[in-house]
A = this chain, B = another copy of it.
Amino acid sequence: MSSQLIQEILAPLESLRLIDPHSHINPHSAASKTLADILGYHYYTELAHSAGCPREHIEEPGITPKEKVGRLIPWLATIENTAQYNWLLEMCRSFFQFQHDRITKDNWESLYDRSLEVLQAPNWERAVIERSGLDGVFLTNDFDDPLEGFDTSFYVPCLRTDDLVFHLVRGDVRQRLQKATSMAIGDATSLKKAIGCLFSHFKQRGARACAISLPPDFAPEPESEAVISGIVTKVFSGSEIDEDSMRRLSNFVFWTLAEFCADFKLPFDLMIGVNRRVYESGVYQGQDLYDKRTSLILYKRLLNAFPQVTFPISVLSETCNQELVSYAWIFPNVVTSGHWWYSNIPVFIERDCRSRLQAVPITKQIGYYSDMYKLEFALPKFAMYRRILAKVLAEDFVLDRGWSVERAVSSGIQILRGNVETIF
């Protein structure tokens, strides 16, 4: 009865076409070319590595895609229980007509061959987009991305700013910035100007958001331009700066970004809580973790200072979800955004989804984004979310509150798609 109801709500959500508001797609190589592009996703390599597969085995230079897949296959048996494995199975079934319950040493080669046929067919990119019902995919572009050679109305540029806020002390980052803006930077004013230049470029090319991932202890504050100027001069002349100066410089750049978000009317995606390189011997992209001891109170000053900027906020630790709900319930400029990384498994999604629906205005909820590196992942990730959303709508709204199925579906559509269009 309840499962039939869930199906009724799910069906229209499944046929809904989507705009994916956050991904890491490279628009010049958006679709997978081989199964190795799919199995090479850090969600699989890190789990295989965690289960015992040596890193060198996976990352050995020069191995062919088929060899790489072949080396990962034996480890899949140890992660069949995971949500991530379920995405893999769903991709193989949907895209490659895979019929088995498990991917094993006996069936993987035929799967590989079949997948190769599919992935290397002309127009696969278009096909996977259609099959996945995507009307648009937001990117996460380096600040010096020329944003050329792709259709920016489908692959929507977003300005990723981690390097600017946290890595200006690296020579390569400074050079990229000066080159991208054709500017010589020597003080706070010229740095600000250069950043404005990036915003102009991104905005002209159709960017819809500025985005950044932040460590759990980041606590942005404004800094005086006078103090910062000295630091910028030092940094851009290649001198070392101490930790306190680095923190101030980060604050200054971050605050400047928020100011330009206001000027350019761009939402500022905050992805809060990641510690980089916690496990330095981990596989590529499988080294980051977090410290749950963080709080949105650290953003008090920012949220008060920029009422005109919308902040779609993602939190890495599920223990921060209630704060996110409460801050979005009070602050007009805080929007709940998706289910990020370590919180992107059903048990956390369901509870987070439920609490947001129970306490945040429905107009302020971005249901889900894929965070994907290759287009094939949109389908299973959004499918997971749609099933959970349908369940929550069925139980909390149709059964508990007596809503009609139509009304529940319409709320689901707003969260899945409507809000993406109104917020960005």
Contacts and interface: CB of A to CB of B under 8 A. Distances in A.
In this complex, the interface size class of chain A, counting residues with CB under 8 Å from chain B, is: 35 or more
Interface in A348-366: 348, 351, 354-355, 357-364
A50 interface: yes
B307 A281 contact: yes
B362 A78 contact: yes
A319 interface: yes
A414 to B, nearest CB: 9
A114 interface: no
A160 B289 CA distance: 29
Interface stretch (A81-89, A142-150, A230-238, A257-265): A81-89
A30 interface: no
A317 interface: yes
Contact of A80 (B278, B323, B362): B362
A326 B52 contact: no
B351 A322 contact: no
Q: Main SS of chain A's interface residues?
A: helix
A253 interface: no
A282 interface: yes
Interface string A40-64: 0000001101111000000000000
Given A82-B358, A364-B51, A323 B292 contact: yes
Contacts of A387: 400
A358 B51 contact: no
Given A292-B295, A300-B278, A342-B325, A330 B287 contact: yes
Contacts of A322: 292, 317-319, 342-343, 348
Closest 10 CB pairs of A and B: A51-B361, A291-B297, A78-B361, A326-B342, A345-B358, A291-B295, A347-B354, A81-B362, A78-B363, A347-B355
10 contacts: A46-B330, A52-B332, A83-B359, A279-B303, A279-B330, A286-B330, A289-B296, A289-B323, A292-B322, A325-B342
